[in-house]
Structure 1
Amino acid sequence: MSSDHAVLASEAEARDWIADVLSPTAEQWARLERFAAMLVAENARQNLIAASTVPNLWVRHIADSAQLLAFDQRDGAGLWVDLGSGPGLPGLVVAILSERPVLLVESRRRRCDFLREVAEALDLRHVAIAEARLEAVETRPAGTISARAFAPLDRLIDLSARFSTESTRWLLPKGRNAVKELALLPRAWQSLFHVEHSRTDAESRILVGQGRIAPKKRGKA
């Protein structure tokens, strides 16, 4: 792997990468630190992240989320919709590091309680939380759609397609099966995406796309 795609190997490298690429303000750094602390504390009460990843929190979760923002720093790009946001990964990290309005879609009540707690504690007024299954969320145009761990790729895209416009950026981490999942999509969908390397896992990939996707017609494959 070239140095352009060097994988972040330590917590210090993760912090340095965020500093170099996203240039957080002192206030944003303080919010990131507090969010990280709140995430670890809440993880003792409900299973938000794997306990084995806590010692590498900044690589595995904070930088892993922040790298998506690095793929879309467009001015005036509009609403960022984060599907299956869970503990706010990547949605809360995006909201901390940018002024983008962010909609966190999460159906589990306890996780939504945590999202609301963090948004209030960090004064993230540009964050909205939809406590519902995606199918029940009101359609609105999304500037960006992200989903870190939501559903198989074809279902993810089909369910969220109604939010997309010609300028929508899709940012979909799909781990080691990204290329295989992409190959199974309808060709019209495939053509909108390309594959990027993850900064946090040498074998993981991120599907980056742009454009409007028409949902599948019901009753057809």
Structure 2
Amino acid sequence: MMEREKEARAYIEEKGGARAIHSLSELSERLKEENQRQNLVAKGSLDHIWVRHFADSAQLLDHVPRETKGPWLDLGSGAGFPGLVLAILRPEIEFVLIESRRLRVEWLERMSSELGLENCRIEGCRLEQVTTVEAGIISARAFAPLAKLLRLSARFSTDDTRWVLPKGRSAAHEVQELPGRESKMFHVEQSLTDREAGIVVGRGKVREKA
């Protein structure tokens, strides 16, 4: 279990090198400033930002094969976790960060520009208003209960879509509550940053009435 900031930095550096560490260090400073303007993350989590937000986001890459193509849709991106972190770590993939709250949209746009993330596009609207595309990967952190999340995002999925959905301690229960076909599509992986949390992982097309 990853609990120390030093461990988290080493884990991320292994994935993205010095460039990623530099970009995330900049993001860390900007997040602390912005959090005084709007409540992007819990104040107490800022003292453990490399574990709680950066490594917590980066670990999703462990469940996506390197050869997987985008676009990568991140639903309800909020402060940019996992979307901004993953866009930094995987510059070769197109990321679409979807967020409807105005101040958070402005924050995501500003950070995407300042960090030079040419592979990152912000959709400042509700998911229902986003033009349908075939997503290679779909992620979401604290977006909606699993069944609702799948229903809303089903139209973006294909037979090859990878799903990586951090769901906290409710992960296993939410998978069990899915209809028969969907419950077999997904399984739960242990989070590396929280011993009580799970990540719902799956592959395939979800029916729009999941």
| TM-score, structure 1 normalization | 0.92
Distance 1:210 1:125 in 2: 27
The one-letter code sitting in structure 2 at the alignment partner of 1:113 is: E
The one-letter code sitting in structure 2 at the alignment partner of 1:117 is: R
Question: Does residue 178 of structure 2 align to residue 180 of structure 1?
Answer: no
Do 2:58 and 2:82's aligned partners in 1 also have CA atoms closer than 8 Å? yes
The one-letter code sitting in structure 2 at the alignment partner of 1:72 is: V
Question: Does residue 161 of structure 2 align to residue 168 of structure 1?
Answer: yes
Identity %: 48
The one-letter code sitting in structure 1 at the alignment partner of 2:90 is: S
Aligned with residue 31 of structure 2, among 39, 52, 67: 39
Q: Give the corresponding residue for 2:57.
A: 65
Distance 1:153 1:125 in 2: 30
Q: Give the corresponding residue for 1:212.
A: 205
**Offset from partner CA, 1:159-213 (integer Å, 9 cap, x none):** 0010001110000111001111111111111111111000010010001000011
The one-letter code sitting in structure 2 at the alignment partner of 1:202 is: R
Q: Give the corresponding residue for 1:116.
A: 109
* RMSD over aligned Cα atoms: 1.1
Question: Does residue 51 of structure 2 align to residue 87 of structure 1?
Answer: no
Question: Does residue 189 of structure 2 align to residue 196 of structure 1?
Answer: yes
SS at match of 1:196: strand
Structure 1 stretches of at least 4 aligned residues deviating more than 3 Å after TM superposition: none
Q: Give the corresponding residue for 1:49.
A: 41
| TM-score, structure 2 normalization | 0.96
Question: Does residue 88 of structure 2 align to residue 106 of structure 1?
Answer: no
5+ residue gaps, structure 2: none
Q: Give the corresponding residue for 2:147.
A: 154
Deviation (angstroms), 1:72:
1.2
The one-letter code sitting in structure 1 at the alignment partner of 2:177 is: L
Q: How many residues align?
A: 209
